[in-house]
A and B are shown apart, each in its own frame.
Chain A
Amino acid sequence: MTDSAARDNAMTGQLAKALIEATGLLRGPLRVLPLIQKLLSDKLRVNFEQRGLYSYATTKRPSLEMLNSLLRWILDAQRPDGGIAAFYSLLRGYSESYPEVTGYIVPTLYDFARAAVDDRATLAAQRATRWLLSLQMPEGAFPAGLHGRQPQPSVFNTGQILQGLVRAHVETSRPEIRKSAIAAGDWLIKMQRSDGSWSGPGAYQASSHTYYSMVAWALAELSGHTADPQYGLAAERNLDWVLSHFQPSGWIDGINLQGHPNYLHFIAYVQQGVLECAILRRRNDAIEAVAKSAWVLLRKFETNKCLAGAYDSDFKSGQRFTCLTGNAQMSCVWLRLFELTGDLRYLNAALKMNEMLKQLIPVRGRRGIAGGVIGSYPVWGNYQPLRFISWGCKFFADALLLEQRLTRSVEVAAVEALPCAS
């Protein structure tokens, strides 16, 4: 299929989805009020916000309060089956449970439970895990898409869910979770091509994608947890394949979403997956490659005060919206790079990024809105328009949890070890 045909197909698909979603207003006409409110508030903010080179967005909202809001949003989004909804649409309300996000939100819930000593998060993680176990297909894979559709095995979703399963087993030591994680890992290895990529059946659009580095990360975690080297080797095979797509400019080829631009969310996925996998596999070459790519985006963020919603292969962007999830993911990448390198500029950028994101989270509003992370800012931007998305909450919560841990360690270091003037 040519690019333009793919684009046309994607546009038709999006239009159809938008129309179906808009019919949601007929079922819930009261939703029109928050919809108008959000459209107006974003319009006003876009018109009046100032992005000076010498300033950055600030807010008085403490990170812990923000984390509590995000958790409340996630708990509200947990459906009766135990899965987490993909999104809350301003047009049609909550979606069905989404296996992929439910999987990789599990580590966030456990991290939050530990940081805030909050049982609600632990219970939510346990319910989510039980639901996930019930979805596993006989071959070990997990299904693509929202719950309730014809199940199709999906490499990416299996990898993302594997992250949650590994963490759930670390926390609970329940043998059925370990068994499920190993079955998922074995299926991923079976589906992997000899060059380290995944394509064909089980891959999105049947093509290989560099953002499947997230799958490599999950396999590296499984290898570490089970002490079985085959998962680690598979992870490194993918890592090498992804690294071959890094360009000298820092750009990463091979995101390869036909009919869609290179959304920041996917660029950040590649970086996160490679970075975390590299940390687990002690691959300095991969860490350096991510640092180079992440630095290009850091400079763009520092200059423009937010990152564009999508970029072309020369890191240029004509997009007039930002993808909040991608921004939160980049905050995570920068915080991890600060942790690895000690370069305070990464921490500085992440702190400012988190401030910018806090400003864009609604403090008040109905369930599904308050504490939610919108797909795009402004709300009508291309990425998940008019939706508060659960993976946005997950990545922003991850960023704030990391921020808390790292700023605390800097404060401790400042008290204990900072040298005085000679």
Chain B
Amino acid sequence: MRIVVLCSSLYSETACAMAVCIAESGYVPAGALALSLDRGTLLRKVGQWGVRGVARYARTKLVPHQSDEQPRVSNPYLEPWLRHGDGIFRSLRQVGAVHRFPVAVCDEQNSPDSIALLREWSPDLIVFAGGNILRRQLLEVPPLGVLNVHLGLLPEIRGMSSPEWSLLTEIPVGITIHYMDAGIDTGPILQRYEFPGAAQCESLNDLRNRLIGFGVEKLAEIVAGLDQGTISAKPQSDLDRDNQFFVMHEWLQARSAERLTKNRLAVAENSNG
């Protein structure tokens, strides 16, 4: 099966881990298409991380690490896929060089040039690891469809800040692997997985990182299942209900983190008692 990875950045750890995971499962990607860094993204990152944070990130991605320095991975749960010999994969280009697939960069994933390139790679399936909101023309390129790993259970939690909203609305934390359509997280569902490790998480960031790792692991199962014809997608119920959630305000994030801590303490208490 020919698979293409779409992602928001060449340096996305999640995209690198997905590409490695798929390749190691025997499905070497037919290509990977990443968004180039634009002024808007850069400014947003400066806003999120500060100038120092952005400089640190750029250093870890662009400057080769010293031999006596332990290479670092931002999301430790992706390390099994990102570790490569003594080092780590720092960009999709490195993954592509090792696993022998082409990597390209574009300004807009829906642009005619991007779609022409995708058609050239003629994928059966696209794995989406971030980027633009995909338009119908792109969604129709692969015969099977475009897969997304959503960090929440569909159809209950659509949209953004899904792990945090799951905690606050008392819907089990989990992931859903689904086909994308023109809506936001409204495409047919291939599989939902409740996440068993939520109560062990130290923080929201830890929870998010673990869910991403869990998603990459499950993605390989789904790709294999699709190839072997053992799984199929089911359209979402509840499409008439507006289950879309939006990026969570920090005050609510703090309440969500409190809920996480409370759950962790309760589990610890139960196991001690």
A residues near B, CB below 8 A?
Answer: 48, 50, 52-56, 58, 295, 299, 302, 344-345, 347-349, 351-352, 355, 407, 410-411, 414, 418-421
Contacts and interface: CB of A to CB of B under 8 A. Distances in A.
Contacts of A50: 40, 43-44, 47
A414 B249 contact: no
Interface in B149-191: 160, 165, 168-170
B242 interface: yes
Nearest to A52: B44
Contacts of A351: 249, 251-252
A355 B249 contact: yes
A354 to B, nearest CB: 9
A411 B258 CA distance: 10
Nearest to A301: B246
Query: What 8 A-B pairs are tightest by C-beta distance, nearest first?
Result: A420-B266, A421-B263, A302-B246, A351-B249, A52-B44, A421-B266, A50-B43, A348-B249
Contact of A53 (B247, B248, B265): B247
Contacts of B267: 421
Contact of A344 (B168, B247, B265): B168
Interface of B: 40, 43-44, 47-48, 160, 165, 168-170, 199, 242, 244-252, 255, 258-259, 262-263, 265-267
Contacts of B252: 344, 347-348, 351
A35 to B, nearest CB: 29
Given A302-B246, A352-B249, A355-B249, 15 more contacts: A48-B43, A52-B40, A52-B44, A54-B247, A55-B247, A56-B247, A58-B250, A344-B168, A345-B246, A347-B252, A348-B252, A407-B251, A414-B255, A414-B258, A421-B266
Contacts of A302: 246-247
B169 A55 contact: no
A174 to B, nearest CB: 40
Nearest to B198: A421
Contacts, number: 58
Contacts of A48: 43
A405 to B, nearest CB: 14
Nearest to A349: B246
A53 to B, nearest CB: 7
A55 B262 CA distance: 27
A421 B259 CA distance: 9
A420 B170 CA distance: 10
A293 to B, nearest CB: 13
Contacts of B265: 420
Contacts of B246: 302, 345, 348-349
Nearest to B246: A302
Contacts of A55: 44, 47-48, 247
Contacts of B165: 344
A407 B266 CA distance: 25
A83 B122 CA distance: 72
B255 A410 contact: yes
B244 to A, nearest CB: 8
Q: Among the interface residues A58, A295, A344, which one has the most CB atoms of the partner chain B within 10 A?
A: A344
A64 to B, nearest CB: 14
A347 B245 CA distance: 12
Nearest to B39: A50
B182 to A, nearest CB: 15
Contacts of A352: 249
A112 B220 CA distance: 58
Contact of A54 (B160, B245, B255): B160
A31 B250 CA distance: 39
Contacts of B245: 345
B263 A420 contact: yes
A14 to B, nearest CB: 35
B249 A56 contact: yes
Nearest to A413: B255
B172 to A, nearest CB: 10
A48 B47 CA distance: 12
Contacts of A299: 244
B270 to A, nearest CB: 9
B255 A295 contact: no
A302 B247 CA distance: 8
Nearest to A407: B251
B44 A295 contact: no
A48 B265 CA distance: 44
Contacts of A420: 262-263, 265-266
Nearest to B249: A351
B199 A295 contact: no
B55 to A, nearest CB: 19
B251 to A, nearest CB: 6
Nearest to B159: A302
Nearest to A347: B252
8 contacts: A53-B160, A54-B247, A348-B252, A355-B249, A411-B255, A418-B262, A421-B262, A421-B266
Contacts of A344: 165, 168-169, 252
A99 to B, nearest CB: 37
